[in-house]
Structure 1
Amino acid sequence: MRLRPLVMLCLLASPANALTFQTRLERVQWQVEGDRFECRLVQPIAGFGSGEFVRRAGEQAIFRLQSPQRWLGAGSATLLAAAAPWQPTRSDINLGLVSVGGGEIPFNSTHLQAGRLLSGLLEGRSPVVRHRTLHGGETLEIRLLPARFGKAYEDYRACTAKLLPVNFDQVRQSQLGFPSADVVLDPRARARLDIVLQYLHADPSVNRILLDGHSDNSGNRLLNRDLSRRRALAVQDYLLANGVPQEQITLRFHGERYPLVANSSEANRAKNRRVTLRLEREAVPATASAATAGPSS
């Protein structure tokens, strides 16, 4: 296998005769980037790409690699919190496997694995990924170094303290329940709407809110249709009173026509008495968008 000179300079022989990517100790740097939606703690890896801890709003951190050259082939890689050479009394901690796929970001760790890697870095351990290369099948090792980690971690923690309580995927659709024959928002529904509003005020790309009112099958159809309308209006009024523009809201009501579950018990009927709130953004990738000819469930 012929390698470019820059890459050759970054490949070191490990004790297991693996090809190892790591940055020279004196050149190690950590970068902290982020906003209210996501925080990233990144170490560039010479000749490879980077190792990144990424924490989205409403979630715990994950660890991942990013490599434009796509060195890792599909399969499984081992994730380690490796002891430093100057820690002879410590052994490496095996954090288990990660599933490797294609693309520039070949895997995402679990939240637990990322948390243990961060704890290890604070103790002087190195995050290590061991796998085989896509080009020829050699054993491959990618290593991050703990040098200069303390200050970067403080900056990362300061970033995460400013994250929103939820991300778009968690808030894009909400079910707001109503007591039997009632059209008044209860404390639980208002609390959920307050979280939605906090997100809306932070993300100007959300420009459409769809409200669909529903009822159970108690009473006659005309009454149920009116109940579903008034429930949707109650949600709309709450949004308007908290600064959401009227033109962004689309309101529909359906009575008992679209139950979530069969109206076979009181518990099921309670699930069907609801308003579904759905958020849409200005530009949604084609793979994530969906035509909505009928109402949301």
Structure 2
Amino acid sequence: MTMTLMVSACAVFSMPAMAIKYYGAAPLESRWSVTVDTPLECQIEHTIPNYGLAVFRSKASKKINLGFELEMRRPMGKTANVALVSMPPIWAPGDQASYIERLKFYKQFNGYIDGQAAWTMLSELEHGRYPTFSFPEWQSRGERVNVALSAVSFQQTYNAFNACVSRLLPFSFEDIAFTVLHYRESGDDLDHDSLARIENIASFIKNSPDVSLVLLATYTDGRGAKVVNQKTSEKRAKLLKEYFIELGLPEDRVKVQAYGERRPIADDSSPVGQHKNRRVVVSLERSTI
């Protein structure tokens, strides 16, 4: 950290003419807890007495991700610049403060950060330091508010959080909400890649009770009689519907449409085109409540 930032960090917390309202858990009241531990989401929380709740979240995705939300009992009355600073614990007064990030908290919204700044907060907590938000008090002049996260009792919960993150599914709802699967040349068996993708869909549905609809649209290639192709399409749709019902979805949440050889998407005169046409489209909807 540069000398300028060191001086600025100290200045934020040592302005003699500005009163400081401090919110933070005392060592004996500091509590961290795992509140969500599923293959879809991991979450830990820390209560800040008289102020609100600090929440770290990571969700199932192709990329490792982390978000932090400062849930305020009294949301900001106006948009303000915020200094996020790593503070030493009270029993290490000789250590210096250091900047983590400069932020904005927006009027009537909770404070939110993600990416590297959120990971840095976890790292600072693991090292026994106190990530602290400092900003002007919007209800009165000449005051600042300091909101601190305590590192006391953090490590055990953090270990559990990391274990949860390691078990997150490596894909999100958006990654599987619209999926095209393909069948082998004959019969009702999906090809190798499609079997892997449908297993991903199944894993997500098993852990996500808010999936409100699975729509299955089956197609064949154009070889053979239309009547036979239509029956083949209907059979495949029926088998897939049974598969998703066995996962625990109510029957009325699984809808099927069998199109047979209608609506080809490729030239049906070649093996490659036939493979593309021989498909099932799986569309998922999720409840917003």
> What TM-score do you get using the length of structure 1 for normalisation?
0.67
- Out of 38-47 and 118-127, give the one that drifted further: 38-47
Post-superposition CA distance 1:12-69 (Å, at most 9, x none): x941334332233333222322231433322211221121212234453311101121
Secondary structure in 1 matching 2:74: coil
Which runs of 5 or more structure 2 residues have no equivalent in the other structure?
1-11, 267-271
Matched residue pairs, number? Answer: 265
In the other structure, the counterpart of 1:165 is 169
Of 18, 25, 34 in structure 1, the residue corresponding to residue 36 of structure 2 is 34
Structure 2 contact 216–254 (Cα < 8 Å) conserved: yes
Of 180, 184, 192 in structure 2, the residue corresponding to residue 187 of structure 1 is 192
The alpha-carbon distance between structure 1 residues 72 and 272, as it changes in their structure 2 partners (threshold 3 A), is farther
CA distance in 2, matches of 1:131, 1:274: 56
In the other structure, the counterpart of 2:132 is 128
Of 109, 112, 116 in structure 2, the residue corresponding to residue 112 of structure 1 is 116
The alpha-carbon distance between structure 1 residues 155 and 178, as it changes in their structure 2 partners (threshold 3 A), is closer
- Answering whether residue 60 of structure 2 is matched by residue 54 of structure 1, we say no
Structure 1 contact 20–141 (Cα < 8 Å) conserved: yes
1:251 CA drift (Å): 0.9
Question: Which amino acid counterpart does residue 54 of structure 1 have in structure 2?
Answer: R
The alpha-carbon distance between structure 1 residues 151 and 250, as it changes in their structure 2 partners (threshold 3 A), is same
CA distance in 2, matches of 1:132, 1:180: 65
CA distance in 1, matches of 2:170, 2:218: 24
The alpha-carbon distance between structure 1 residues 41 and 237, as it changes in their structure 2 partners (threshold 3 A), is closer
Structure 1 contact 185–235 (Cα < 8 Å) conserved: no
Question: Which amino acid counterpart does residue 200 of structure 1 have in structure 2?
Answer: I
CA distance in 1, matches of 2:220, 2:144: 60
CA distance in 1, matches of 2:220, 2:101: 49
Structure 2 contact 179–283 (Cα < 8 Å) conserved: no
Structure 2 contact 66–119 (Cα < 8 Å) conserved: yes
The alpha-carbon distance between structure 1 residues 33 and 240, as it changes in their structure 2 partners (threshold 3 A), is closer
1:235 CA drift (Å): 4.4
The alpha-carbon distance between structure 1 residues 187 and 23, as it changes in their structure 2 partners (threshold 3 A), is same
The alignment yields a C-alpha RMSD, in angstroms, of 4.3
The alpha-carbon distance between structure 1 residues 14 and 187, as it changes in their structure 2 partners (threshold 3 A), is same
In the other structure, the counterpart of 2:23 is 21
Question: Which amino acid counterpart does residue 119 of structure 1 have in structure 2?
Answer: S
The alpha-carbon distance between structure 1 residues 67 and 240, as it changes in their structure 2 partners (threshold 3 A), is closer
Structure 1 contact 211–250 (Cα < 8 Å) conserved: yes
Superposition map of 1:241-252 within 5 A:
246-252=251-257
Structure 2 contact 126–155 (Cα < 8 Å) conserved: yes
Post-superposition CA distance 1:136-187 (Å, at most 9, x none): 46543211121222223234334445x5516873466131243897875222
- Indicate the structure with greater strand content: 2
Bigger Cα Rg = 2
> What TM-score do you get using the length of structure 2 for normalisation?
0.68
CA distance in 2, matches of 1:268, 1:80: 59
Identity %: 20
Post-superposition CA distance 1:181-220 (Å, at most 9, x none): 787522222112112212222334435311134689x99x
